[in-house]
């Protein structure tokens, strides 16, 4: 017979899992059939994309405020992307020890504070410094977001999952770009509109970061909790307490890095990404180019919005088509979709930048071209890169592989924006000091369009060719990852 004190202790301990389970159940509730965690993660993606699009949307105003030319503006994008690339592996290290909602919240606070600081800066050097801090925050957030989605969907529908993330993220990109472009030409309470847009976006980002920290559940924690419930193991022993990076954590990080870097399929994805991300980085000049043609803020914002809507729809479309293709051709379907999307960038870049007359009378042609360009060239990440990365390493290394993907791609693609500026000024005759009468400048618009075309068409073609190498490596690496995952599960 047990004593009364023993019974009371047992009753007290039995209540602890119930209270924890109740709290987790509150966080795990669904809204319209979608988990609260996924809703908040997608809201974080919206704010991340909105933040990325803020500065490019107000390049013209920033150029006037700080007397900066395309090369200087390109360096701002370079600084942010380069710091983001160098800092991305930190996300993989942090996620090995802390849950992803915590890591996401830290990154969100970092980018929000730096965004607000850009809005109150009065020297070009200050803007450059805070853009670097902004890149550091994004470096922590993006890989954690990608691995969160990878763990939330099964292999056969993972393309759709990444497509939905890209779709809702693009809503933020459209919103951030349109908001900043429209506000840029106005003054609020004696403050230039573009500065108000930065401050407002920072406050919204802080709010989303707080909500993510408070209500999002890491999929790893959910799986570990279920495993502990079935096997009677300690929940804390499976997920860790997150008290800091121990010596074993650093060892695990080093092992994860070596494991990821040795995968040949990942090496090919990085190679194509380094080249294929150059055109996308160069596109930050689209808003400025349209304004130089002569379009006002509203017309330019509408064109960028149509392009973003095309990209958003294309990301989801590409992910869904690739999921279907992967069921018929498990080891090549995603690769074929990616090649199609990359090669479509060549004719669309040529038609947009060299064929369409650079006049305000061509707005409808620009709008039609931009939408369908976005619809077809935006598949690669959702149809191939992100789903393939999730399949070629064990689940515990997913954040690390996304982090290194961002590190390698971002470090090289960061050079695209300065290259566009240098080509425009040094090769095609963009003159910052020239005074133009009326709205826009035909000469500057022509120079900038040729600089853009030089950094877009050729990389799109090389990117498509690089994808062809995956036909030789993806099947082997995917099967190796499956074997490694099964061994880990047996050991557990």
Residue 342: per-residue pLDDT: 93
Q: What is the dihedral of CA 45, 238, 136, 54, to 10 degrees?
A: 10
**What is the per-residue pLDDT for 241?**
43
Burial class of residue 270, CB neighbours in 10 A (0-12, 13-18, 19+): buried
| More confident of the two residues 324 and 88 | 324
Give CA torsion, residues 375, 460, 68, 291, to 10 deg. Answer: -40
Integer angstrom CA distances of residue 109 from 16, 332, 443: 32, 40, 42
On the question of pLDDT at 438 being above 60, the answer is no
User: What gap in Å lies between CA 457 and CA 117, rounded to an integer?
Assistant: 36
Give how far Cα 164 sits from Cα of 38, 121, 215, 317, 484, Å.
11, 35, 21, 9, 29
Predicted confidence at residue 57, as pLDDT, reads: 74
pTM summary value: 0.66
Task: Please tell me which residue, 288 or 485, carries the higher pLDDT value.
Answer: 288
Q: Quick one: average pLDDT of 310-323?
A: 90
For the chain, percent of residues with pLDDT exceeding 70: 76
Q: Name the most confidently modeled range: 86-90, 254-258, 427-431.
A: 86-90
pLDDT at 4 exceeding the cut of 50: no
pLDDT tops 50 at residue 14: no
Region 397-422 average pLDDT: 69
pLDDT score, position 243: 41
Predicted local distance difference test score (pLDDT) of residue 334: 92
Q: Is residue 296 predicted with pLDDT exceeding 70?
A: yes
pLDDT tens digits for 109-152?
A: 888 888 888 888 888 888 888 888 888 888 888 777 777 777 77
Asked whether residue 22 carries a pLDDT value surpassing 60, the answer given is no
340 has pLDDT over 80: yes
Task: Say which range, 207-221, 310-324, 414-428, 460-474, has the weakest mean pLDDT.
Answer: 414-428
For residue 434, is pLDDT > 60? no
Specify the pLDDT at position 490.
Answer: 67
The stretch 438-454 carries a mean pLDDT of 77
pLDDT of residue 256: 64
Predicted pLDDT of residue 367 = 93
pLDDT on residue 222: 52
Residue 192 has pLDDT above 70, yes or no: yes
Q: How confident is the model at residue 31 (pLDDT cuts 50, 70, 90)?
A: low
Note whether 272 and 466 are within 8 A (CB): yes
Confidence of residue 351 (pLDDT cuts 50, 70, 90): very high
Tell me, what's the pLDDT at 221? Answer: 58
18 has a pLDDT exceeding 70: no
What is d(CA 242, CA 262) in angstroms, rounded to the nearest whole number? 28
Distance CA 218, CA 234 (A): 17
| Section 250-272 average pLDDT | 75
- Among 71-80, 200-209, 454-463, the minimum mean pLDDT is found in 71-80
Give the lowest-confidence range in 29-38, 99-108, 205-214, 263-272: 29-38
Contact present, 222 and 38 (Cβ < 8 Å): no
- Tell me: the pLDDT tens digits for 201-257? 888 888 888 888 888 777 665 544 444 444 444 434 333 444 444 445 556 656 666
15 falls in which pLDDT band (50, 70, 90)?
very low
Please name every residue paired with 31 in a beta bridge, in sequence order, or none if there are none. 34
Cβ count near 261 (within 10 Å): 14
More confident residue, 154 or 326: 326
88: which 2 tokens? 């991305």
The predicted structure's pLDDT at residue 151:
75
**CB-side neighbour CA atoms (13 Å) of 374:** 22
Mean pLDDT of 184-189: 76
Contacts of 246 (CB under 8 A, 6+ apart): 97
- Res 229: pLDDT: 44
CA triplet 162, 115, 44: central angle to 5 degrees?
25
Mean predicted lDDT score pLDDT of the chain: 76
The Cα-based distances of 22 to 15, 18, 19, 26, 462 in angstroms read 11, 6, 5, 6, 53
Give residue 159's pLDDT: 79
Q: Which residues contact 159 (CB under 8 A, 6 or more apart)?
A: 318, 319, 320, 322, 323, 326, 334, 382, 383, 387
- pLDDT classification of 343: cutoffs 50, 70, 90: very high
Of 208 and 281, the structure prediction assigns the larger pLDDT to: 208
């Amino acid at each position: 017979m047990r004593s009364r004190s023993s019974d009371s202790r047992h009753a007290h301990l039995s209540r602890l899992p119930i209270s924890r389970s109740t709290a987790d159940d509150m966080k795990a509730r669904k809204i319209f059939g979608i988990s609260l965690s996924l809703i908040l993660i997608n809201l974080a993606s919206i704010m991340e994309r909105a933040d990325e699009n803020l500065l490019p949307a107000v390049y013209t105003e920033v150029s006037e405020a700080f007397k900066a030319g395309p090369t200087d503006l390109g360096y701002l994008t370079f600084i942010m992307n380069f710091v983001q690339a160098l800092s991305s592996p930190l996300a993989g290290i942090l996620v090995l020890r802390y849950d992803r909602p915590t890591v996401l919240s830290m990154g969100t606070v970092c980018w929000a504070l730096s965004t607000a600081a850009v809005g109150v800066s009065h020297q070009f050097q200050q803007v450059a410094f805070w853009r670097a801090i902004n890149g550091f925050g994004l470096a922590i957030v993006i890989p954690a977001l990608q691995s969160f989605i990878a763990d939330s969907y099964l292999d056969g529908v993972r393309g759709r999952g990444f497509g939905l993330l890209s779709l809702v993220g693009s809503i933020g990109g459209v919103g951030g770009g349109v908001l900043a472009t429209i506000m840029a030409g106005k003054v609020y309470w004696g403050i230039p509109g573009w500065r108000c847009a930065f401050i407002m976006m920072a406050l919204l980002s802080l709010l989303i970061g707080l909500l993510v920290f408070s209500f999002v559940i890491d999929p790893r924690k959910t799986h570990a909790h279920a495993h502990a419930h079935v096997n009677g193991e300690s929940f804390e022993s499976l997920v860790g307490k997150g008290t800091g990076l121990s010596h074993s954590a650093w060892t695990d990080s080093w092992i994860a890095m070596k494991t990821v870097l040795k995968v040949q399929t990942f090496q090919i994805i990085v190679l194509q990404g380094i080249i294929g991300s150059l055109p996308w980085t160069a596109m930050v000049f689209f808003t400025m180019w349209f304004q130089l043609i002569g379009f006002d803020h509203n017309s330019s914002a509408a064109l960028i919005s149509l392009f973003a809507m095309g990209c958003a729809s294309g990301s989801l479309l590409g992910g869904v088509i690739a999921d279907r293709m992967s069921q018929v051709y498990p080891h090549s379907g995603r690769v074929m979709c990616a090649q199609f999307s990359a090669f479509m960038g060549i004719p669309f870049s040529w038609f947009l930048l060299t064929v369409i007359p650079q006049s305000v009378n061509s707005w409808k042609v620009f709008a039609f071209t931009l939408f369908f360009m976005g619809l077809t060239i935006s598949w690669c990440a959702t149809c191939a890169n992100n789903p393939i990365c999730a399949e070629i390493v064990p689940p515990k290394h997913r954040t690390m592989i996304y982090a290194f993907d961002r590190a390698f791609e971002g470090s090289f693609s960061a050079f695209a924006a300065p290259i566009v500026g240098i080509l425009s000024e040094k090769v095609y005759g963009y003159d910052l000091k020239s005074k133009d009468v009326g709205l826009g400048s035909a000469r500057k618009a022509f120079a900038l369009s040729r600089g853009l075309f030089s950094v877009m068409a050729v990389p799109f073609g090389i990117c498509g060719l690089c994808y062809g190498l995956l036909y030789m490596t993806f099947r082997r690496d995917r099967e190796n990852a499956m074997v490694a995952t099964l061994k880990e599960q047996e050991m557990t």
